[in-house]
A and B are shown apart, each in its own frame.
Chain A
Amino acid sequence: MNPWLVGDLALLGVAMPVALWIASRGNAIDRLVGLEIGSVVTTIALLAFSQGAGQASYLIVPTVAAILSFVGTLVFARLLAPRR
């Protein structure tokens, strides 16, 4: 196992469950922060997996994930804002 896969394992085994825990408890804004943490962890984990597997073509997945998580989180933030 190379260091890239060790990092991937740490991200998926420790950081991701924590993000899921935060994203599933508390009020809507607490869960939104959990979603943001999970998005960052997912993007980094996909980067690490691409390097660990030695497949540069896999990098398109974290690229799309980074863009979509930005847009998705902004939409959630907009919808959670109280109405005037």
Chain B
Amino acid sequence: MSPLHAVAAILFLVGVGVVVMGSLLALPLRGPKDRLHALAAMTSLGTPLVTLGLILRHGWSPTSAQVALIGLLVAVTGPVLSSAAARVAGMRDGSVPRETPQ
């Protein structure tokens, strides 16, 4: 295994560790707003690390481009989904007015 491939595997495993720890940390938290913080670490830190590891493994190739697309999709849509879920939670518990734009 070349040094670059070893670095790629380490980055991947660290990213997987972040995702696994994020899900485990979300378990004892109470309420959706607290759990969304754990989800943010998974989408904004874990996913880019996994994606970076796979891109390093493949180098400049169409496979890397597709992996980058998937990582970008998850990293961009994750905060949008967290925002939407937090907003609905706020509307249901009364902390966000229902009249705000959708």
Tell me the A residues contacting B by CB distance below 8 Å.
3-4, 6-7, 10-11, 14-15, 18-19, 21-22, 29-30, 32-33, 36-37, 40-41, 43-44, 47-48, 51, 56, 59-60, 62-63, 66-67, 69-70, 73-74, 77-78, 80-82, 84
Contacts and interface: CB of A to CB of B under 8 A. Distances in A.
User: Top 7 closest A-B pairs, CB basis?
Assistant: A7-B16, A15-B23, A70-B77, A66-B73, A77-B84, A3-B9, A18-B23
A7 B39 CA distance: 18
Given A3-B9, A3-B12, A44-B50, A37 B23 contact: yes
Interface residues of B, number: 50
Contacts of A67: 73
Interface string B61-86: 01100110110011001101110110
B66 A63 contact: yes
A25 to B, nearest CB: 10
Contact of A63 (B16, B27, B70): B70
Report whether over half of chain A's contact residues are helix, strand or loop; otherwise say mixed. helix
A67 B47 CA distance: 15
A15 B81 CA distance: 19
B70 A62 contact: yes
